[in-house]
Amino acid sequence: MIRRSLFLQIYALIIASLAIAAVILVTLTGMGRFDQRDPLRAQLGQVMGLLLSPEDQPENVQRAVRRVARVFHADISVYDATGRLVASSGEHLPYNTVPTEPEGFRSGTRTYVLNTDHNMRVIMHLRSPFRNPRRNIAFIIVVIAAAVGAAAYPVARYLTRRLTNLRDGMEIWSRGALSTRVAVEGRDEIAEAAKTFNMAADRIEQLITAQKSLLANASHELRSPLARLRMATEMYEEAPSDTLKDEILKNLAELDELVEEILIMSRLESKQDEAAHEPLELVSLVAEEGAHFNADISGEPVIIRGNAKLVRRLVRNLFQNAARHGRPPFEAHISLRANTVSLIIRDHGDGISEAERERIFEPFYRPAGRAESSGGWGIGLALVRQIAKAHGGTVRYQDQQDGGAGFVVEFPVA
């Protein structure tokens, strides 16, 4: 796709305007409207010098004078070097006639006195008004301005119309209509600006929608541990016991973990956490987290680059998910294929139905028919996907051949 630059459009408009002006000037010059010299004084003297030669017969000179007089609508008298009248046409003009310029120029008529190369004196008086040559300049300027304006108007109108549409769309969007998008027309900078605005509007709308959904779901999920915590606290005040104390601590830990995951999710959504920081040895990191779940760890040592805290959270969430929804034993295997590091964490539970294998990565997804006390998937797997994406990786569910559920996370090798 060839992108038409706005600069090139403006530059082409200038070049086209100059070309139009040049054509007009050439045309008018050919029509004789751009001669800023005095046509009689600059050219007639040479013409008369060629026509009025002393060697010509008097009748030839007379005919030449009459022809010139008819062309210029003038009275002409021609004298030789001795002051003798050689030829004339129209009203007789004395030898000592005085030129009337510049007064004649202002009044619209002129009387010229011209001397030829043969020492002949030509006196000419124009009978019709003489055209002011400065009017030619004004006429040409007006024509050029009109032509340039006519050529520039459609282009300028086209550009400003698209800018106006872009501005109107942004104003509507800024008033809260986040679904507003602007039309992309052309392939220049204005079209690129419209595309950029649409992409930014899409991203912001997705972020706001995700934040609203996250807030609504988090508010719902927080009610259960808060209700249990309140009930356990009231019961503990009436009859303290270690069982109630443990229940209170458990609910506090659940609240703390949920709030922390929400904060991490928000930072990842807004790109506040940088993923690639340091080289990480994945096998040892998985082994440390798997030790809390008596997991069997296998695989070859590989190095990835990332944020150690986020990668630990990813591994911990997968083990917690296996412990919550599956059955032991839990296993983790790390392998290297080409430039991809694969981490598989599996359990020996009942697995996940095919219809729910993508939805379990949605924040706070709860399968239909499951009671609130049974719990859903919360935000854990959604956070796993976000962390993997922030590290340039992916995560997916995978059925195991001998039963159970498995999650495959793939990272680029360092």
For the segment 349-373, the average pLDDT, to the nearest whole number, is 71
Topology annotation, domain 273-414: Heat Shock Protein 90 (3.30.565)
CATH, domain 181-272, list 1.10.540.10, 1.10.1040.10, 3.30.420.40, 1.10.287.130: 1.10.287.130
Specify the pLDDT at position 129. Answer: 61
Strand, coil or helix: 64: helix
In sequence order, which residues have a C-beta less than 8 Å from that of residue 273 and are 6 or more positions away?
264, 267, 307, 310, 390
pLDDT tens string 19-28: 787 777 767 6
> Which CATH number is 35-131 given?
3.30.450
Tokens of 372: 């609130």
| Range 2-31 average pLDDT | 69
User: With 50 as the cut, is the pLDDT of residue 104 above it?
Assistant: no
Q: Quick check: 265 and 295 in contact, CB under 8 A? A: no
Distance CA 232, CA 224 (A): 12
pLDDT in tens, 311-354: 888 998 899 888 888 888 999 999 988 888 999 999 988 888 78
Ranges assigned E (strand) in 234-346: 278-281, 296-299, 303-306, 331-337, 340-346
Q: Are 347 and 361 in contact (CB under 8 A)?
A: no
Q: Report percent pLDDT > 90 for the chain.
A: 9
Among the ranges given (278-292, 297-311, 358-372), the one the predictor scored with the smallest mean pLDDT: 358-372
Q: What is the DSSP string of 216-230?
A: HHHHHHHHHHHHHHH
Q: Is residue 2's pLDDT more than 50?
A: no
pLDDT in tens, 159-172: 778 888 888 888 98
Q: Does the global pTM surpass 0.75?
A: no
Mean pLDDT within 220-225: 69
In the β-sheet with 331-337, what is the strand arrangement from edge to edge?
Answer: 296-299, 331-337, 340-346, 405-412, 394-399
pLDDT band at 368 (very low <50, low <70, confident <90, very high): low
Q: Is the pLDDT of residue 29 over 50?
A: yes
Q: Report the run of H or E that residue 180 belongs to, with start and end.
A: none
pLDDT at site 34: 47
Q: For residue range 124-175, list pLDDT tens digits in order.
A: 888 776 555 545 666 776 777 778 777 777 877 777 788 888 888 889 888 8
Confirm if 334 and 411 have CB atoms less than 8 A apart. no
Q: How many CB atoms lie within 10 A of CB 200?
A: 11
Gap between the Cα atoms of 249 and 211, Å rounded: 29
* Token digits of residue 321: 């998910």
pLDDT at 185 over 50: yes
How many angstroms from the chain centroid is the CA of residue 73?
66
> Lowest mean pLDDT: which of 61-75, 179-193, 223-237, 253-267?
253-267
pLDDT at 410: 92
Q: Which of 5-19, 335-349, 369-383, 386-400 has the lowest mean pLDDT?
A: 369-383
**What's the mean pLDDT in 41-47?**
59
The pLDDT assigned to 47 comes to 62
Q: Which two tokens mark 63?
A: 């005919």
Q: What percent of the chain has pLDDT over 70?
A: 78
Q: What would the DSSP string read from start to end of 91-142?
A: S---TTPPP-TTHHHHHT--EEEEE-TTS-EEEEEESSPPPPHHHHHHHHHH
Of the two residues 294 and 366, the one the predictor is more confident about is 294
Q: Would you list the DSSP string of 368-401?
A: TT--GGG---TTHHHHHHHHHHHTT-EEEEEE-T
**Residue 85: its H or E element:** strand 85-89
For the chain, what are the domain ranges?
35-131, 181-272, 273-414
